[in-house]
Structure 1
Amino acid sequence: MADKSPNILQKLGQRIGNVFKTILSTIDGLIGSGFNNFLLKVIPKPLHFLIPFLKDDVGIKAPSISSFKGIGLPEQKEAKALIEQIAVEPRTASLWQVKPLYTKYRCIEGNPFRCEVPRETVEEDPNNRYCLKCQFPAILPPEAKLRGRDGIYQIENYIGCRGQGRIYEATNLNDGLSVVLKEYVIPDRDFSPDETKLCKDSFEQLAGISLADGRVQDFRLITPSEAIADPKEERCYVISDHPAADAPTLASYLAGYGAMNNWQVRQFLSQTLQTLESLHGQKYTLRSGIVQQGLPHGNLSFYSLLIKPNLQGFYIYLTDLALWEHRFNSPLAQPAIYSVNRDLEDLGYIAFYLFRGGIVDLDNRIYLDPNVEEHWIPSVQPALKTFILNLIGIGPIKYESAEIARRALLKLPVERAIDLPPLEDVEPEVKPKKKRRWLRTAIVAGLVLLLLLLLGWWLSNLLKPRPSLSNEALPCCIEQVSGIPAGKFTYTAEKNATWSYVLLQDNLIAKGTTLETELQKRQPKMQLSFQPVLSAVDGIKKVKDQETEFLVTSLIGDLGTDLVYKEFAYDGLAVFVAFSYADRAKSLPTALKGQITFAQLKQIFTGQILNWKQLGGPDLPIKLYIPTDEESVRIFEQRILKDREAIESFRQMIKQNVPTRSLLDDTTTEGITPLQTFDTFRQVIRDFEDRNIGSIAFGSISRVFGQCSVYPLALADGNGSPVAPLIKTNGEPVTPTTDLCNDKGSYNPDAIAFVTQHYPLSYQLAVVYPRDNRRDPVGERFAAILKTDEAQKLLQKTGLIPLQGKSK
């Protein structure tokens, strides 16, 4: 028994070793593989042999940037094959990102982001831009340079994939400081040229957020310091200078360490809920300038949660918000649902899988499900288990916010488990070399203390404040726009289209004035004469023939190389039906549940559906109206009708305007009637209340907004969720129960949905002008005027949506 008594020196040695292990884990987690390089620099060459001895002696195996390469699922190898064979529940698949993004590429690994061939392609020849096997865009080669607003970034090293992009170490050549660069790809097999452009535009405007009041608050949310859309390549990039931007993901942590215990899961939940509480509850300014009250993360997964060890355990950081991460989803993919409740549910699922360290049960060949009692580990604390079930939404209580959930978590009884065995149970090791081991431990202790002192000096230099690089800001006021040419100039836009309306309509800006008058009054130097044309094609021809200086339009497809354009605002088409207060219970908005799909609109406007009962609505014949401007009609054709046959049927119905017989019944109605939008409002409500006809029409949201005789329907493209053009000021959706007349001022166009193109009939307005230095820069300067904060406020008053969503 005496031989089994605890040894004081051994206990002390074990404690010291544990402390050293924690310290070095923290260092390695903080600065990644740079710690090894640091040791090589500060330790004299004759003592380099101590570096591996140091790590081996205290058993360091902390996650770091070096262990981040080639991230796979945090399962055993056999689990990867199993996941491909079993039906993984979609929610689980999204958390682990099991499904590959780009299936049109025949990648030998099934997922180009987790395949080594694109990397090997560049190693073989740095000039190779595409994978030699499947032609997917290859990785960026070392020393490649990217130009951004805040500097020129040089690629130093490829780290691996994370979520929907690839991670690199890079250097800002302006100040020599290291950053983390994430690369997104927009492969041409999945995105058309127009879709690529929309993707890049929305990415640059949304990739990054900051507190609206200007405060800098560190609540463990990593956001980009800069967003870059590559003008030549099918790629976009975000730059992050956050110290934790290269920390391991939760997926790679579990791959190296396995499942978490009760105390670790509780700490994970507490920290993540604290960050979500701030994210959901505070006002943020997006990169475009939009001010948003609270934001859902929308992309919580084992790859968007980063973990850094510290002396108390670890820190959890959130990154890769859906706001910019999901810009690169395939256009055919079903739009994801973003909400506070979805974030809480995802967090609950993640916590459940942390207890298991994976998503599949290898023995039973099934994926693990929190709804199944047998899938929970026996050691999970009952109160914590109930809390997680509540988060998921299958427990006795549903948490309405992260704040409520966190308060509930803090009230749970604390039962911290001790993972280290008690010292009394430690077998003393009686060996002749015991004294040597103690001596080695003492040497290690001295060496570590020396290294910590050197490390402190190094970090103090590394973390010095960076010089601020101010972004180029647009002038606030029209009078601050420089280089405005003097003289009289003409320009054009389509007759009866959006610009013609907002420019010339009285009383939009203020009583007795127009936008044209206000713009001319605020900059009298350049006198512009507006001369409308019948079509955008005619306007483009006039600009090229130098008959006019520029064109204002939304039809900005392939303009060729001799014309350029600058966007200045957003508008969109609204599809509307009568909104009758006399018989609201039987009205079309109620019957249609406030929404309609593109497929149904296509059938209606090509004469295949002539009565609302064919869509499950009331027995009302359908009458069709369209606006008289080419701009709206062409957008409707391009976005909804799409194919040549449908467009031809649509145009024939406009041209003939004769009765069309349904293939399904004997109901008949007239063809399609072109009508001025405001005349359409009156006609649609009369049709419903006086003639028992359910009319439907479309027009620009700048004219439809504020008209309470019609109801703009939410639109669903393909399998996507319906998106409404209007939203209440409190963030709730407008529904058929909303009093559009008496509640005016309590709802507005959903600016974020329009700016992000989430609303499927959103479009940009732009100034199109010649790329010719020999001509006066009238169009380019007019676009600069319209993008000032002063002009954006004027545009907002006309019903347009400013580039920033709302003017400041």
Structure 2
Amino acid sequence: MKLADLYHQVRNKIRYIVSFGRFNPASSSGQQAILHEIRRKAVEASQRVDIPGTNSQSSQSPQPNSFQVNLPWSSPSESGEAISPKASYSPLNHSPAFVKNQELTNDPYYPEYQCKTNDALGCPYPQQTLQQTPQAKFCLGCAFPVPLAQSREIRGRRGIYQIGTLLGKRGMGRLYQGVQTNDPQPIVIKEYLLPNRCFKNLDDVQQRQGTFVRVANLSCADGRDKDFRLLIPTEAIADEQERRCYLITKNNLETLPTLQTYLSTHGSMNEDQVKLLLDQILQTLEFLHGQRFQFDSGQIGNGLVHGNLSLNSILISEVNSQEFFVYLTDLLIWEYLFYRPDVQITPKTINDDLISVGEIGFKMLVGQTTLDPRNDQHWPTLQPEFKQFLLQLLGLEGSFSTATQGRDVLLKLPKPAIKDPSPLKADADIDDPKRKVFTPWILAPAIVVLVAVVGSLLWRTFRKPPIVVEQKNLVSTIEEIIVTVGNFTYSLEEKGAASYIFLTPTLLSSRQSLIDELESRKPGLSLQEIWAQDVQEAETQVTQETANFAIINQVNPSYPNSLHSQPIAYDGLLIFVPFIKDAREQALPKALGGKITFEQVRKLYTGKVQNWKEIGGPDLQVQLYAPTEPSAIQLFEKKVLQDNSSIAIFRDKLKQRDIQEQPTSATIRNLQYEFENEQIAGVSFGFSSQIFGQCGAYPLALQVESDSPLIAFLKRILFLGDDAQQAWIQQSNHQRIDPSTPLCKKGSHQIAQELFQTKQYPLSFPVVVLYPRNNRNEPRYQIGEKFSDMLTTEEGQELLQETNLVPLQPLD
């Protein structure tokens, strides 16, 4: 050992003892605590001393290796494989193995702390110590770190978070209720510990904290906030002053009971309940294993293995005895960072996740965790096909290669027989030979003639001639557009859809933002954004030549004569509600028939309708949401509300916060949470380009109420349609989606581009480039036109289509 190392080791020991005494006074001073700790340290040291001439092997035993940050699941890869090492694996024996140098008689996670309850994280004594001495940092009983004090603030990059009530422990950390100081939305804080008796190497601690921030700050690589019942943290924070780390999660889903707690309270589940939950778990794993994730370092990983699936890492929300929702949490990719250094981690694979799902299914059926699925006598009576499915999940009779394969088999299992509850009629009502029966066939010819005549008239009256999209010969590549390179500025609405489309680096397959992609196609071209509060300010910036051009949503089609607008693509507003499993009777899309009228939307957003049953929906309270983009608000007022009275009421509700304004991704999360847990059914509107691909939102088809009730009835019975326009269509048959369409299944649907290109979708609008109408031969006056020329090439239209905008015309 070097002298410097010895100096730092002694200094750290002294600081530890002094801090322990300062914050843990056993009586009126810290002297007794210091003496007690010195004695304990001395005993520990004496136990490690080898006496010469003995057979002690302690000096021979290797010290735990320092933490390696290059383990496979802490290093995102672009290999296309789910992030986790590949290794052989034995079913039913894959929990992290706690390898011990000596037999442990204390807490298996923190054996160095002689906790009276053998559960240092869940022990009440550290909390009692904190209550008795608010400045205490260590438990008076075993010196384990005490919980965080209420009102303590944790500073992260995305906000300041205040500690509230201690909720308990789960996995490798403690859970607290909390709030974000600049946002009233509730949060849950999970605190992880790296206590010094278990983690003695300071470099090891710092490496673990750094890796934690890197891997736990993850998001979907395509920039969309998809909700597949996977609880992804909002922010991961490493404490720079203490050996602690924190996970911040918005909303209260993290406070739900674990599946283990539910089974302990309610006992086993029936076969249908287990099938429902397994379907949800496998669907979440489909997303987890297949989704591209971006980590804090900017690296991209193709899929993640959960690796830590158990009854304690699945949270459950019970709606009623047959309606449940489960959420997956506590991924191994960050949980394992807080295992002791001497713990050996068994590498995890996709197959391990599927085996864990099989174990969870078996345990839900039997209600006990000690029974062995390899013992046929431990199985309850099941449908043979379902039992075979579980055995295959467990890897006991074959196996599944992916979660998708397993889920497909589950969904094809025989459904339980449904008995007809309708009562039988009395015999006299069924068959009475004395009763005279009217035979309608006599009038059949007249009815046929009448229907034919009326149908012909209606067909001629209401048949709409097909609208053909004008096809132009497009320039093939961006390279063919001649652009004078240089430095130019362009204006963007700060909170607008265009800023999301053009500056988000994960929408294109090249993993560059659209602006960066265009600059890379034209070396020497530099485009710098200038922010505008709304489209009107963007227009002013171009007029005053503060910006060379602007990219905006066309709210008003008329501009000053000095400006020219060039459409480059189409987008549209969607009215959307929470999309929940379609079998649920009170699911909003199903109850509304998948559509809504403009008048109903106006009544909702002016407060005339406050319960969905008033417009044919379920008996649920309405919660109104709106996006933060000013152009979305303006388009909604112009195209939906229309009259000044409705607009005034709408603006007042926004001002009074009766309508909650927040980003669309946050709204989708809130809609699902409120529907599943608070029996509130919300509604919002937002841009199609931001909502497409997020299966937590269902866009309602829009119907204009222009027909009289009689005409509407006749059109329905003669199959002339209801004129409701749906922005999304099924990919298989190009029919509009309905509440039974599996929106969470990739490739099940697509944007109805023709409706946008022909302007049949009533809330569609063009995205335009706005630039000076100037004939001066100077690059700054020409760059706007050249920019729109690049994006209206065939190659440019394909790039815009990747961002979920609709191209100006069909692309071959």
TM over 0.5: no
Measured against the shorter chain, the TM-score band is: 0.3 to 0.5
TM-score by length of 2: 0.40
Question: TM-score normalised to the size of structure 1?
Answer: 0.40
